[in-house]
Structure 1
Amino acid sequence: MRGLIGLVTGLLLAAAAPAAAETQYFRIATAGETGTYFPVGHALAAAASRPPDLVVSAIASNGSVANVEAISNGTVESGLVQADVAHWAITGTGAYDARGPRPGLRAIAALYPETVHLVVRRDSGITGIDTLRGKHVSIDEPGSGTLADVRLILDAHGFNERDFVAEYYKPDLAAQLVGDGQLDGFFFVGGFPSEAIAMLAGRKLGEIALAPIAGPGVNRLLADNAFFTPARIPVNTYPRLDAVETVAVRALWLTGEDQPAELIERLTEALWSDQARAVLDAGHAQARAIRPETALLGLTVPLHPGAEAFYRKAGLIK
């Protein structure tokens, strides 16, 4: 009898005890492993994680458009997305004209500017967009933000991908093919330095160049697309490559409107903590550029209520 009473008492006490906090898992979809999103996503994940009850992880993906789709259909909790792609997705315009809008996208933070690179073999004869005709160039894979941007850039110059031999490769494969002489060049949109470009330039010293994206075509591009801004890749960003004029868009960390406000507020607070600052400063060059004073610049979708609550408390929104 005493054993039965003890068992019942134990069960009652166990039922009355507070449950242990359940671990929350939160994923960040990035892009290919040799681009900038992948290392930046891992830095963000390390900065925002608060184990054991909050575990943030970064996963590879096909890039911005794929990340928008994954967030929208609930496959992942968040993703890194170019500001222009986010704008098209939420408004159902541009690259989303045929797909329809994705109105549930919400922002956690703006991160850093992403620069358009046109990487070419020096002997290719490519000195800008107007010299692409007849060349063999990769414009990135379907589902990438790079592909969407390149189509806009080409259109502003009166070109399209039928005016040259277009391929649709990830940046790492495209860089390898350029180095092997099987491609004349490739486009990449991302924060510099890119691992794939740095490795190519280092392997083919003096044989690789960055072509400028400048001139009247760019003036039309900027006039028609407010999310593009003029940019410059500094000299020696990559081994033996000169400085070059180009354009850029901002990278955004996005989530879905259905994510709990408490969770997103906690993530945002963790992202801008002193602990996170040390992690970001030890990471990729673009992770070091992620700062609270620019967290609201270039947003093309509304803030998530949880993120907005943090920024109001921090005095960044009046």
Structure 2
Amino acid sequence: MRMRRRSFAALGASILGAGVLAACGDDGGSGGGEGGAPAEGGEGDFVTDLTFGTGGTAGVYYPLGGEYASIYQDNIEGITVNYTDSGASVENIGMIFQQEWQLGIAQSDTANAAVTGSADFEGAQVDNLGWIAALYPEAAHMVTLTEAGFTSVADLKGKRIAVGDVGSGTRAVSDAILAAYGIADGDYEPFEQDFSSSLDLLRDGNIDASIFVVGTPTGSLGDLSATNDVTLLSLDEDTAQEIADGSLYEVYTIEPGAYEFVTEPLTTLSVAAALVASTTQVSPEVAYEITAATFEFADQITLPQSELITHDYALFGQGDVPFHPGAEKYYQEQGLL
């Protein structure tokens, strides 16, 4: 079942500000895990009415979360799962920490930042986040209109650039890419927009480029290319490798044919789209069933990414994010741990 999204501003403060991060640093908060272990709820703390944070409606997280919400509810006894659009990674993790939502999809690098207290979560740690599974790789797309004549990321200096929605993990990737080409804060005009809004701004000439991390292919980009000539900028291979070597990103190739307008391989960066869950509100038993259903019913997912949801990719990008105890049991039984 779909929920109406509450306004991101309705949290009272940005998740990056006095809201979630203040709570993360509060010893009286919901945490309690020690030595890197996730906090675990008592039996009375677990809930069966689950809210699943996804992403913007133009990306992959939203429809994928909607389909998995139905799969989980239909195949796991005793739970309901409502999905909601959101600002994506940071917001989803923040709402899990606040015990408002119980499931979410997030970039793997953002999940790692949350549990280590770095990047968007600098000075704080989210200690009730458990890894369920890496689902598929998602690639950074540097989208421009062909008529602008841009041939390199370096050409974007001084331009108007959409760098991701408030509460998404895209901003960190955008910053890393731009910095690698000598484009620092103040060298361009940033626009914090969701993917759909950024493409509308690009189409209407109100921005010059949109950087977004999304599963390939994404239908919204195909829609834009139906009305406009679109160019995806490629990273120099050496630059991409340099960024990857100092981060949790991987060098990734968008192959010809991924979009009709892509006729040669494009070099970019990727992270994993990861399913995460609250360790304080989702019981080990339910998390086990969710993990099993994620793979068992992947063939029911209608999106192109369904073919990538496999055991082989399940642990990609996990890094420092602890397993949810239920997921860990599943992987042990499957011989993956």
TM class by shorter chain equals 0.7 to 0.9
Aligned residue for 1:313? 333
8 Å CA contact 1:210, 1:242 repeated in 2: no
Mapped to 1, the partners of 2:112 and 2:151 lie a distance apart of: 30
Aligned ranges for residues 62-77 of structure 1 at < 5 Å? Answer: 62-77=87-102
Quick one: which of 204, 209, 213 aligns to 2:235?
Answer: 213
8 Å CA contact 2:130, 2:279 repeated in 1: yes
Mapped to 1, the partners of 2:220 and 2:109 lie a distance apart of: 23
Quick one: which of 251, 254, 269 aligns to 1:247?
Answer: 269
SS at match of 2:261: coil
Distance 1:277 1:171, change over 3 A: closer
TM-score by length of 2: 0.80
Q: Which AA in structure 1 matches 2:112?
A: H
Aligned ranges for residues 107-118 of structure 1 at < 5 Å? Answer: 107-118=131-142
Residue segments in structure 1 that go unaligned for 5+ positions in a row:
1-22
Aligned residue for 1:78? 103
Q: How many residues align?
A: 287
Note the C-alpha offset of 1:52.
Answer: 6.2
Q: Which AA in structure 2 matches 1:297?
A: F
Mapped to 1, the partners of 2:127 and 2:76 lie a distance apart of: 32
Q: Which AA in structure 1 matches 2:256?
A: V
Aligned residue for 1:120? 144
Mapped to 2, the partners of 1:148 and 1:179 lie a distance apart of: 24
Aligned residue for 1:264? 287
Mapped to 2, the partners of 1:217 and 1:159 lie a distance apart of: 14
With 263-272 and 152-161 compared, the bigger mean Cα shift is at 152-161
Mapped to 1, the partners of 2:211 and 2:178 lie a distance apart of: 12
Distance 1:267 1:219, change over 3 A: closer
Mapped to 1, the partners of 2:311 and 2:71 lie a distance apart of: 14
8 Å CA contact 2:159, 2:208 repeated in 1: yes
Residue segments in structure 2 that go unaligned for 5+ positions in a row:
1-46
1:85-128 deviation line (CA, Å, top 9, x unaligned): 11111101122214x11122110111111100000011223222
Mapped to 2, the partners of 1:82 and 1:102 lie a distance apart of: 15
Aligned residue for 2:32? none
Quick one: which of 296, 302, 312 aligns to 1:293?
Answer: 312
Mapped to 2, the partners of 1:58 and 1:288 lie a distance apart of: 22
Mapped to 2, the partners of 1:253 and 1:159 lie a distance apart of: 32
Identity %: 27
Q: Which AA in structure 2 matches 1:303?
A: F
Quick one: which of 287, 299, 303 aligns to 2:323?
Answer: 303
Q: Which AA in structure 1 matches 2:89?
A: S
With 133-142 and 63-72 compared, the bigger mean Cα shift is at 133-142
TM-score by length of 1: 0.85
Aligned residue for 1:7? none
SS at match of 1:272: helix
Aligned ranges for residues 14-163 of structure 1 at < 5 Å? Answer: 24-49=48-73, 50=75, 53-98=78-123, 100-163=124-187
Provide the aligned C-alpha RMSD in A: 1.8
Give structure 1 regions of 4+ aligned residues with deviation exceeding 3 angstroms.
Answer: none
